[in-house]
Amino acid sequence: MSKPVITIQKVSKHYGRGTGRQQVLHDVSVEVKPGELVSIVGTSGSGKSTLLNVVGGLDRHYEGEVTVLGNKYTGLSDNALSRLRNNRIGFVFQAFNLLDHLTCWENVALPSFFGKHPGDTRRMAQEHLERVGLEDKINIKPGNLSGGQKQRVAIARALFNKPDLLLCDEPTGNLDTRTGQQIIDLFSSLNRNMGITVIIVTHEQRVSKVANRCITLEDGKVVSNGAPDKMKVVDTACEPVSGRRTDH
C-alpha cells in the first residue's frame, strides 16, 4: 500500500487569546493517498481554508502533526518548507492572486524566480499556458483577462513546478457556472491524466461530485469523510447515504 501524501494528526488551531480565543480546528486527523482528488466542504468559518493553509505550510501556528510528501512540518526550517512549496506543491486561490505588473508567462514562471528550475522558463511557461488553453495570452497582463482566464493562468502557475500536490482554495468561487465547470473539469483531468493529488476546498456540490473523497468540516471538526459513492451532497456537506456521519 502506498504511503499517504498527507497525514494530519490531531491538528488544532485557534485565533486570538483569552476571552477572544476562537478555536478553528479541533483535533483534525485526515490522510490523503497519492492520486486522490479530495474535496473539503463545509460552511463559512468551518476551518476549510485554515486546514488547507496548514497543509500547504502557509500557516505554521497550530498544534498537532502534519506530514506532507514525507516531510514532517514540525522542526522543518522555513527554507526547507519554502523549497518544498517551490518544488512539489501548487496552489490555486479563489482570488487568483496573480501579480498584475507581470505578464501571464512571468506569472506562470514565478516559482522559477525563487528556486532551481532548469531550462528555458519562458518556454516552459508557454507550454503550461498552452495546456490551459491560453497560448495566445503569453505577453498579456492579468488585468486584461477574464476571471476564468485568470484562474487558468493561476492553474498554469500551480502546474509550473510539476507538483505532486495541488491545493486549491475555492477555485471556482469567483467564476460563473460555465467557467467554473471548465475549471473543475481541468482539475479532474489533471488528477486523472497526470496523477496529481488534488485537494479542493469548495462550497460547490459539483466539485464534490467529481472528487474521490469528500471531507466535511463543521466548526473545525471533521464530521464526514468518505467516498462519493457512499455519500450524498447536501448543501455544503457530504452526508453518508445511510444518514449517519462517519469518521474516516
The least distance separating another protein from the CB of residue 30, rounded to whole angstroms, comes to 18
Position 69 contacts another protein (CB under 8 A): no
C-alpha cell at 179: 467557467
Burial label for 224, CB within 10 Å (0-12, 13-18, 19+), is buried
Cα 94 from Cα 116, distance rounded (Å): 27
Position 56 contacts another protein (CB under 8 A): yes
The least distance separating another protein from the CB of residue 86, rounded to whole angstroms, comes to 2
**Of 76 and 210, which has the nearer Cβ to another protein?**
76
**Of 3 and 114, which has the nearer Cβ to another protein?**
114
C-alpha cell at 157: 502557475
Q: Kind and range of the H or E element at 147?
A: helix 147-159
Position 86 contacts another protein (CB under 8 A): yes
Question: What pairing do the DSSP bridges indicate for beta strands 237-240 and 231-234?
Answer: antiparallel
Query: Distance of alpha carbon 26 from its chain centroid, rounded?
Result: 20
The least distance separating another protein from the CB of residue 169, rounded to whole angstroms, comes to 9
- Name residues contacting another protein, limited to 117-136 (CB under 8 A): 121
Which one of 69, 102, 138, 140 is in contact with another protein (CB under 8 A)?
A: 102
Position 112 contacts another protein (CB under 8 A): yes
**Of 86 and 172, which has the nearer Cβ to another protein?**
86
- Name residues contacting another protein, limited to 194-233 (CB under 8 A): none
Position 79 contacts another protein (CB under 8 A): yes
Q: Kind and range of the H or E element at 129?
A: helix 121-131
The residue written with cell numbers 493529488 in the block is: 197
**Of 127 and 223, which has the nearer Cβ to another protein?**
127
Range in contact with another protein (rule: CB under 8 A) among 57-65, 122-130, 143-151, 229-237: 57-65
- Name residues contacting another protein, limited to 140-169 (CB under 8 A): 157, 161
Cα 1 from Cα 230, distance rounded (Å): 22
Q: Which of 170, 207, 202 is nearest to 185 (CA)?
A: 207
13, 59 Cβ separation under 8 angstroms: yes
Q: Which of 71, 3, 73 is nearest to 35 (CA)?
A: 3
Position 60 contacts another protein (CB under 8 A): yes
Query: Which stretches of the chain bind another protein, using CB under 8 A?
Result: 50, 53, 56, 58-61, 78-79, 82-83, 85-87, 91, 93, 95, 97-99, 101-102, 106, 110-115, 121, 157, 161
